């Protein structure tokens, strides 16, 4: 019995984990364990022998059981200590500051433009940036031989080998969304279409991707006078000045007839642009009365409806309003630039609460 006791108490003390402990329990006091087998032998003993061996075996069984549960508790404590050591965390360390994001000026200006035109009853429409050449050119009265196709430095998509259909293009302007809007909603119609456009060009004032906003108003009695009023109203709201003078210069676009380019009166003082005063003029957009062929392409009867359209560079008017000198910086994702020119994300521009304040 002394041998058994020594054997199991040593083994229990040295057990490395709970499963080793469990094997020892089975081997000692389990149903067929060594101590249990010894207890079965009690029946063959004389009453005198039994009186000595019985209590001694019970005592041994108790001693082994309590050694087992003490060791079990000790192993659990050790495991907890180990976890506390490995998962230790210095809560006195200073927090890591998260970089605060800002709204890109292009997003800000797009929101401002949408807010102003929404106030005049224009909805926002969008179209795909990969566009068919029909929407980008033909439907806008720019046939295959037209020089405007070459002038636009178009990016062409690649067709699969053996596919001879005309290739898709990266849209060179937002004007194709005019056609899609007419097809989708018919007349009367008032939409603006902001979004990215692409041309193969790169210098201080040109990037291969930039942004435009298209405007389109179709109704029975729309004239150049409505176009003029809407644009003046827009420029006044957008530049947040009371008085602005616009100059309409006769021009040519295939999709409008007559067409006009619009300049805004401004001054440059020490490289600082001031809108609304001075002796300089700055071109900000192209516009005109929608060409009958364009209305037809959009599924609208030109004998019944007419309208105006315009197209304006979003990046351009963002540079003007916020004094940003280099267009290329818009797309560099330089955090210092974004912190300087970015806007707080939760300040949504509205006509009443202020566009940029």
Question: Which residues of the chain form contacts with ligand DAH (CB under 6 A)?
Answer: 173, 175, 214, 253, 255-256, 286-288, 309-311
CB of 309 to ligand DAH, least distance (A): 4
CB of 136 to ligand DAH, least distance (A): 10
Q: Which is nearer to ligand DAH, 110 or 256 (CB)?
A: 256
CB of 256 to ligand DAH, least distance (A): 4
Q: Which is nearer to ligand DAH, 170 or 309 (CB)?
A: 309
The whole-angstrom distance between residue 184's C-alpha and the CA centroid of its chain comes to: 27
CB of 216 to ligand DAH, least distance (A): 7
CA nearest neighbour of 315 among 296, 300, 333, 328: 328
The whole-angstrom distance between residue 121's C-alpha and the CA centroid of its chain comes to: 28
Q: Minimal CB distance to ligand DAH: which residue?
A: 311
Q: Which is nearer to ligand DAH, 103 or 319 (CB)?
A: 319
Q: Which is nearer to ligand DAH, 133 or 214 (CB)?
A: 214
In whole angstroms, what is the distance from residue 163 CA to residue 87 CA? 62
SS3 55: helix
Question: How does strand 123-124 pair with strand 189-198?
Answer: parallel
CB of 267 to ligand DAH, least distance (A): 26
Q: Which is nearer to ligand DAH, 8 or 122 (CB)?
A: 122
Structure tokens at 174: 């937002």
Count CB neighbours of 52 within 10 A: 10
How close are the terminal C-alpha atoms of the chain, in Å?
Answer: 91
Q: Which is nearer to ligand DAH, 55 or 299 (CB)?
A: 299
CB of 102 to ligand DAH, least distance (A): 29
- Provide long-range contacts, Cβ within 8 A and 24+ apart, for 335-341: 335/99, 338/102, 338/104, 339/102, 341/105
In whole angstroms, what is the distance from residue 5 CA to residue 340 CA? 80
């Amino acid at each position: 019995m002394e041998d058994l006791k020594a054997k199991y108490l040593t083994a229990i003390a040295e057990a490395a984990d709970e499963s080793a402990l469990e094997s020892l329990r089975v081997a000692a006091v389990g149903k067929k364990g060594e101590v249990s087998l010894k207890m079965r032998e009690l029946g063959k003993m004389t009453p005198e022998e039994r009186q000595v061996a019985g209590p001694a075996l019970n005592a041994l069984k108790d001693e082994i059981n309590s050694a087992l549960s003490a060791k079990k508790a000790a192993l659990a404590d050790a495991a907890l200590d180990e976890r506390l050591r490995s998962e230790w965390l210095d809560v006195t360390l200073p927090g890591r500051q998260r970089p605060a994001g800002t709204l890109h000026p292009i997003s800000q200006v797009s929101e401002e433009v949408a807010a102003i035109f929404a106030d005049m009853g224009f909805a926002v429409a969008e179209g795909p940036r990969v566009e068919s050449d029909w929407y980008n050119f033909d439907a806008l009265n720019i046939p295959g031989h037209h020089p405007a196709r070459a002038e636009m430095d178009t990016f062409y998509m690649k067709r699969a080998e053996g596919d001879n259909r005309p290739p898709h293009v990266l849209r060179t302007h937002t004007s194709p969304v005019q056609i899609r809007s007419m097809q989708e909603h018919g007349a009367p119609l008032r939409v603006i279409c902001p979004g990215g456009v692409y041309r193969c060009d790169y210098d201080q004032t040109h990037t291969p991707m930039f942004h435009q906003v298209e405007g389109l108003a179709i109704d029975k009695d729309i004239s150049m006078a409505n176009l003029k009023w809407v644009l003046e109203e827009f420029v006044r709201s957008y530049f947040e000045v009371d008085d602005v003078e616009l100059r309409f210069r006769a021009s040519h676009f295939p999709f409008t007839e007559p067409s006009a380019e619009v300049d805004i009166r401004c001054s440059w003082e020490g490289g600082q642009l001031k809108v609304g005063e001075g002796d300089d003029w700055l071109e900000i957009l192209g516009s005109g009365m929608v060409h009958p062929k364009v209305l037809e392409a959009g599924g609208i009867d030109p004998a019944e409806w007419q309208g105006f359209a315009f197209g304006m560079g979003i990046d351009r008017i963002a540079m003007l309003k916020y004094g940003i000198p280099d267009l290329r910086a818009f797309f560099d994702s330089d955090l210092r630039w974004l912190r300087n020119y970015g806007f707080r994300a939760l300040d949504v521009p509205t006509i009443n609460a202020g566009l940029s304040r």
